[in-house]
Structure 1
Amino acid sequence: MIVVSAASGSLGRLVIDQLLSRVPADRVAVAVRDPAAVADLADRGVGVSRGDYDDPASLRTAFDGAQRLLLISSPVLAPADRIRQHLAAVDAARTVGVGAVAYTSFLGADRGAGGMTEAHHATEQAVLRSGLPWTVLRHPFYSEAFLGASLASAVDSGVLSDPTGGRGLNTAFRSDLAEAAAQVLTGGDQHLGRGYDFTGPLWTYPQLAHSIERVRGTAVVLREESEQAPGAMGWLHGLVRSGALELQTGDLQEVLGHPPTSLDQAVARLVAPAASP
């Protein structure tokens, strides 16, 4: 049995779709806080159990019998709460003796516990201490966080604002990361004991402007944005400008067995060609 925790989110549902293309539905189960939210998965033959990160007993029940467990990180962002939840999940997996656990971590979490990697670092360490066979899947930022609003604005206005100073982004699409997780969960023992640093193909906003032009067949003006956006996006753009998102590895392509989604492919999927006059 393959069990996926926190499976009601965007990544989890994509993982389930990938698993169902590889194995029978009766070999797949989900552990979710609210089983009613995934009634559609039950209709597809997937086993559904209540598995609440704040209720360790429910996790033990949901994980019992799992040959493979995908522990998707909690949506709770406060580090102390997230660490408590994750450690409860790892302890539940150890207590019931799951066959192996794969954890969706974040790039850099193996190198230290500062900032946004604090909870991921603590969880990785707990997985290693558990004695369970393990795989760590370190994710980059999702491409969707950058491309959605940028694409829509550029298509509507013909102007693409570049808040990154032209620096590279190693983001990856959830669909590729979900496929990689499914490969790990169904690929036997070859992935055990591996810590993968997943990155997508490096891309820049100038390249994005050219890609939109190729797909749309209309000109796009690139405008450098000097003022920092408010909130989380401003913080993300600052990271990009510092070069912090330019790390590249071949791990995602290795696990997928094919290149990750390219910028041109992504734009072609997300932006319809301009109508002919």
Structure 2
Amino acid sequence: MIVVSAASGSLGRLVVDHLLARVPADRVTVAVRDPAAVADLADRGVGVRRGDYDDPPSLRMAFDGARRLLLISSPVLAPADRVRQHLAAVDAGRTVGVSAIAYTSFLGADRGADGMTEAHHATEQAVLRSGLPWTMLRHPFYSEAFLEPGLASAVDSGVLSDPSGGRGLNTAFRSDLAEAAARVLTGGDQHVGRAYDFTGPLWTYPQLADAIERVCGMAVVLREESKQAPGAMGWLHGLVRSGALESQTGDLQEVLGHPPTSLDHAVARFVASPAGS
């Protein structure tokens, strides 16, 4: 049995979709805070159990019998709360004797606890101490966070704002990361003891403008954005301009067995979606 925790979220649902393309539904179980939120998965034959990161006994019941457990990181961002939740999940997996655990970590979590990596570093260490066979799936930032706002504006106005300062981005799409997780969960022992640093192909805003022109058949003007965006996006753009998102590995393509999603495909998918149209 494969158990996917936090499966009601965007990533978890995509992982389940990819799993169902590879294994029978009766081999897949989801552990969620609110089982009613995934009634559609139950209708597809997926096992549904209550597994609340804030309720350790529920995690032990949810993970019991798991051959593979995918521990998807909690949506709670406060590091202390996130660490507490993750450690409860790791302990539950150890207590019930899951055969192997895969954890959705973040790039750089192996190098120390600093900012974004604090909770992920602590969780990786807990996984290693648990004695369970493990796989680390270190994610980059999601491509959607950068592409979708700019795409909507560019397709509507023909102007694409570029906040990158000419630097590249190594982001990856949720769908690719979800497929990679599904392949790890169904790939036997070949992924056990491996730590994957997932990145997508390095892309730039000029390349995105070219992709919009090719896919949509329209001229796109690239406009350098010098004014910092408010809130989290301003912080993210600062990371991009510093070059912090330019590290690259081939791990994602290796696990997928095919190239990750291209900009052209992403633009076409966006334009065809209700949000894009």
**AA matched with 2:160:** L
Q: What TM-score do you get using the length of structure 1 for normalisation? A: 0.97
SS at 1:189 equivalent: helix
Equivalences for 1:154-173 in 2 at 5 Å?
154-173=154-173
Deviations 1:66-91 (A, max 9, x none): 00000000000000000000000000
What is the number of residues matched between the two proteins?
272
**AA matched with 2:229:** A
SS at 2:48 equivalent: strand
C-alpha distance in 1 between matches for 2:168 and 2:130: 37
Report the alpha carbon displacement of residue 264 of structure 1 after superposing the two structures with TM. 1.5
**Partner in structure 1 of residue 85 of structure 2:** 85
Which ranges of 4 or more aligned residues in structure 1 deviate by more than 6 Å?
Answer: none
5+ residue gaps, structure 1: 273-277
**Partner in structure 1 of residue 6 of structure 2:** 6
Report the alpha carbon displacement of residue 271 of structure 1 after superposing the two structures with TM. 2.3
Equivalences for 1:209-248 in 2 at 5 Å?
209-248=209-248
C-alpha distance in 2 between matches for 1:270 and 1:43: 28
SS at 2:110 equivalent: coil
RMSD: 0.6
**Partner in structure 1 of residue 113 of structure 2:** 113
Deviations 1:38-82 (A, max 9, x none): 001111111100000000000000000000000000000000000
**Partner in structure 1 of residue 275 of structure 2:** none
C-alpha distance in 1 between matches for 2:13 and 2:269: 19
**Partner in structure 1 of residue 204 of structure 2:** 204
**Partner in structure 2 of residue 177 of structure 1:** 177
Query: Sequence identity of aligned pairs in percent?
Result: 89
Q: What TM-score do you get using the length of structure 2 for normalisation? A: 0.97
**Partner in structure 2 of residue 16 of structure 1:** 16
Greater CA drift, 210-219 or 118-127: 210-219
C-alpha distance in 1 between matches for 2:174 and 2:124: 21
5+ residue gaps, structure 2: 273-277
**Partner in structure 2 of residue 259 of structure 1:** 259
**AA matched with 1:227:** K
Deviations 1:166-209 (A, max 9, x none): 21000000000000000000000000000000000100111111
Deviations 1:94-115 (A, max 9, x none): 0000000000000000001010
C-alpha distance in 2 between matches for 1:166 and 1:40: 44
C-alpha distance in 2 between matches for 1:197 and 1:268: 27
